[in-house]
Amino acid sequence: MIGMPNTGKSTLFNRLTGAHAKVGNWPGLTVDLLSARLIIGDQVIQLVDLPGIYDLNGYSEDEKVVTTFLAQNHIDLALVVLNASQIDRQLALLGQIMRLGLPIVLVLNMVDEAAALGITIDAGGLSAKLGIPVCLLSAKYGQGVEQLQPVMRGVLGKKPTARATGVGAVSLDERQLEACVKSCVSVPAQASHALTEKIDRILLHPWLGLPIFFGVMFLLFEVVFVLGKPIQDAMAWGFTAVRSEALEPALAGLPIVLKGLMLDGVYNGLSTVASFVPIIVLFFLCMGIVEDAGYLSRAAFLMDALMARFGLDGRSFVMVLMGFGCNVPALMGTRVIRSRGLRLLTMLVIPLSLCSARMQVFVFFIAALFSAEAAPLVLFSLYVMSILTAMLTSLLFKRRYINTDPFVLEMPPYRFPTLRQIILRGWHEVGHFMRRATRFIVAGVVLVWLLTNFPQGATPGGVDTWAGQIGALLNPVLSPLGIDPKLTIALIFGFVAKEIVIGSLAVIYNMEGSALVSTIAHQIDWIQAYSFMLFTLIYTPCLSTIATIRTESKSKAFSALAIVWPLGLAWIVSFLFYQIARHLAA
């Protein structure tokens, strides 16, 4: 599947394969080679969704990925996906692909938007003039998708021809392509997205735009806590009941050490983390609606002038926002940036995003130490702090990593996502969490249990355990931040994956659910909690993120900087907050 950004390729990919590719409404979101197997007639094919590109002769990392893939792989069929309401602007890419001599099916997506603009398309006439099959569909609503597979089957069933012959497609230059389209596509003289233009007059207002954006984000946090907290409390109660009523009787006959590992280690850790999943899912459902509606492209536009003062641009801001889901795909998304200096600077600030893993930590501590009325404001303050630390970082390093790439961003019309897309987004987040749980959390909580229960004879969770010794060793460094030895152990495991932090606390305190929340609320105050959250927000990202930075930057020195700088910045910010807040509270 080949096409420009924002043509709905990933949505169509999901429709055809049932896969859960990331779908969003801003250019450059698909940044990796998504693939899935698909049965077409009596054949099993592998469908690959290539990154969105504007030009096969471009120089961005995404464009290089596409051209390299096309050059190094045998392609049986190219699904060229264009926006039906913007055919005239996307003809150049179609012409470039046709000149490669690949078997082609032209997919004109978003026909629902084209119809709303009064655009009519003669698919049969266009197919005859171009010499390739043409399909009209709306991947978002599923309209016409069922007609695509028979067309694909027909092209795949033909006898293979050498690439140089054109494989049935008529060799046309750009002017001929324009003539073909003009004769088969009728566009009203006044075709425009009137509603989008009316909304943008408000949301892109020079003075009101940014306050509205931050107001929308604050409202999002408010909705998440109001709806999610009761669900989280119910799940925590349920996990506690399962332990007391089912697991403890079932495991009563096991040796004490093994029973402790299973209940106090694995179950306490996993159940405590899992109880916060509803809030995480709800947050990203709301964030997904904002993304898919096209609002984040507007945020990039609004922030571009401000970001330029810090050596970044609007695309960098979009990538930082993507990092609120997970830093890894956001880092890969920087491939759309041609300037290496801007790309490295963006990669340095992305890990400062308030990602979903950190979100679990914040939700836990906010629920424990702050009132329901203050909770959204506290979380919003961390969101703002995330952006401020990113700006500070870019300001300090912009002279080292210089931007030489102009800012170009397509502004898509507003599109409210369908219920199917919203559900897929939630399922995607749950699936991501479960994969992370499988990879990191189980191993992490088991290791924490071992450290807090050994050597033999030590008091579980006491100062004489291995964990207690490590905490005491690091206490002189972190105690000025209000972080005690138990919280220190959790931070250490956060280096592996931030998801482990809450699970490790459940193991360290040998408690779960509401009991753990109550105990922590009695042992630390809100100043210590906020200092801990600040440190968690800023300090060195997880191993997956570091590995991605190393792969994408291809620089050991830059990877080392990405580890050391956030760690030092986290200490400074937390130290300043804790000492000032403690002095004011005295």
- Tokens 């501590």 locate to 365
Residue 579 and residue 492: Cα distance in Å, rounded? 22
Burial pattern 114-135, b for ≥16 Cβ within 10 A else e, equals: bbebebebebeebbebbbbbbb
DSSP structural state of residue 495: T
**pLDDT value of residue 435:** 66
- Tokens 């021809």 locate to 161
**What are the structural domain ranges in the chain?**
2-190, 209-411+431-585
**pLDDT value of residue 218:** 85
> What strand order describes the sheet that includes 104-109?
2-3, 78-83, 104-109, 134-136
The segment with the largest mean pLDDT, out of 88-102, 179-193, 347-361, 525-539, is 525-539
Model confidence pLDDT, tens digit, residues 357-372: 898 899 999 989 999 8
Model confidence pLDDT, tens digit, residues 440-462: 677 778 888 888 888 988 887 77
Mean pLDDT of 544-550: 87
Residue 238 and residue 256: Cα distance in Å, rounded? 24
Mean pLDDT of 319-339: 79
**pLDDT value of residue 164:** 41
Residue 69 and residue 365: Cα distance in Å, rounded? 46
Residue 332 has pLDDT above 80, yes or no: no
Residue 26 and residue 292: Cα distance in Å, rounded? 8
Mean pLDDT of 312-321: 84
The segment with the largest mean pLDDT, out of 205-219, 287-301, 415-429, is 205-219
Mean pLDDT of 223-246: 87
Using a pLDDT cut of 70, give the percent of the chain over it: 92
Structure tokens at 474: 């690091």
Residue 319 and residue 327: Cα distance in Å, rounded? 9
Mean pLDDT of 224-241: 86
Residue 315 and residue 553: Cα distance in Å, rounded? 18
Which pairing describes strands 43-49 and 34-40: parallel, antiparallel, or unpaired? antiparallel
- Which residues, in sequence order, are CB contacts of 56 under 8 Å at separation 6+? 63, 66, 67, 70, 93, 96, 97
Residue 204 and residue 208: Cα distance in Å, rounded? 7
Q: Average per-residue pLDDT in the chain?
A: 85
**pLDDT value of residue 20:** 52
> Does the bond joining 206 to the residue before it have cis omega, within 30 degrees of 0?
no
Residue 17 has pLDDT above 90, yes or no: no
* CATH number attached to the domain at 2-190: 3.40.50.300
**pLDDT value of residue 191:** 57
Q: Count CB atoms within 10 A of the CB of residue 526.
A: 17
Residue 582 and residue 495: Cα distance in Å, rounded? 27
Residue 535 has pLDDT above 50, yes or no: yes
Confidence of residue 160 (pLDDT cuts 50, 70, 90): low
DSSP structural state of residue 73: S
**pLDDT value of residue 436:** 59
**pLDDT value of residue 217:** 81
Contact between 52 and 4 under an 8 Å Cβ cutoff? The reply is yes
Residue 396 has pLDDT above 90, yes or no: yes
Using a pLDDT cut of 90, give the percent of the chain over it: 38
Contact between 278 and 228 under an 8 Å Cβ cutoff? The reply is yes
Structure tokens at 55: 């030009």
Residues, the chain:
586
Q: Quick one: three-class SS letters along 511-544?
A: CCHHHHHHHHHHHCCHHHHHHHHHHHHHCCCCHH
Model confidence pLDDT, tens digit, residues 170-216: 556 777 888 888 899 998 866 566 778 889 999 999 889 989 988 88
Q: Count CB atoms within 10 A of the CB of residue 460.
A: 15
**pLDDT value of residue 54:** 86
Mean pLDDT of 16-36: 61
Report the alpha-carbon angle 293-297-303, nearest 5: 135
**pLDDT value of residue 430:** 67
Instruction: Specify the DSSP element, H or E, that contains 371.
Output: none
Mean pLDDT of 511-537: 92
- Which residues, in sequence order, are CB contacts of 390 under 8 Å at separation 6+? 320, 349, 350, 352, 353
Residue 153 CA from chain centroid, whole number: 34
- Which residues, in sequence order, are CB contacts of 90 under 8 Å at separation 6+? 3, 4, 7, 82, 83
Residue 306 has pLDDT above 80, yes or no: yes
